[in-house]
């Protein structure tokens, strides 16, 4: 569901499910779209929510922002996870949600996020308040991927050629090997991935963005 729905194509309104349909097309109106969810403009606040169907241990998300225009609208947003006693759309957010993440400023084209901790829940909600923009404000999401962690004490980390670390956790490890750093990241709340520098310095990060052709030693769980 979402707070409201924009209708520019009478045959295909920009409904909430377009942000979770398996397509990461980021051109909103490409080839007879829309291909992204889109709320009405200039409302007091905006939200988009997903029912996962059952409870999961949620650890990371990947969000695809609109690229053809207006990507700066997706800014200063919160991600909440709910695990209500009554699992209906009417009641899903009556109880206080658990904060997974707050993103300060505008999001990049593709944003990878680690929750503040592993959170168990069924409903995921992305929320933002109205923000002044010269070309109006709205919430547009081209795809939201949510990942559950069934084995938090397992898994390997792979070098990411097409990702760049963003939000640092201000946690570092000196004289580390990649294996030691991977274990450090796995045992640390908020950790999405890590970067290795000369001399074995390991730095942890909570978010990353998709880029073209980065050769830094950045690793995420794969």
Domain ranges of the chain: 16-148, 157-221
pLDDT of residue 198: 86
pLDDT of residue 219: 96
CA–CA separation, 108 and 204 (whole Å): 19
| Tokens 């949600």, located at residue | 97
Residues 16-148, CATH architecture = Sandwich (2.60)
The strand pairing partners of 145, in sequence order, are: 62
pLDDT of residue 156: 85
CA–CA separation, 146 and 127 (whole Å): 16
Q: With a cut of 50, list the residues of the chain below it in pLDDT.
A: none
The rounded radius of gyration (Å) of the Cα atoms in the chain is: 18
Provide CATH code, domain 157-221. 3.50.4.10
pLDDT of residue 33: 84
CA–CA separation, 171 and 46 (whole Å): 33
Predicted TM-score (pTM) of the model is 0.94
């Amino acid at each position: 569901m979402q707070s409201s729905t924009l209708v520019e194509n009478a045959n295909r309104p920009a409904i909430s499910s377009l942000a979770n349909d398996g397509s990461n097309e980021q051109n909103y109106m490409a080839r007879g779209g829309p291909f992204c969810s889109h709320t009405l403009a200039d409302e007091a606040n905006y939200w988009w929510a997903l029912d996962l169907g059952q409870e999961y241990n949620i650890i990371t998300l990947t969000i695809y922002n609109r690229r053809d225009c207006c990507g700066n609208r997706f800014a200063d947003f919160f991600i909440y996870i709910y695990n209500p006693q009554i699992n209906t759309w009417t009641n899903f957010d009556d109880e206080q949600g658990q904060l997974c993440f707050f993103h300060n400023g505008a999001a990049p084209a593709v944003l990878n996020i680690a929750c503040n901790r592993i959170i168990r829940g069924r409903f995921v909600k992305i929320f933002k308040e109205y923000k002044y923009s010269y070309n109006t404000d709205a919430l547009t999401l081209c795809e939201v991927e949510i990942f559950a962690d069934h084995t938090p004490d397992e898994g390997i980390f792979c070098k990411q050629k097409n990702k760049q670390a963003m939000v640092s956790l201000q946690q570092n490890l000196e004289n580390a090997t990649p294996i030691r750093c991977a274990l450090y990241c796995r045992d640390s709340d908020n950790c999405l991935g890590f970067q290795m520098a000369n001399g074995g310095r390991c730095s942890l990060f909570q978010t990353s963005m998709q880029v073209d052709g980065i050769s830094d030693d950045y690793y995420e769980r794969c």
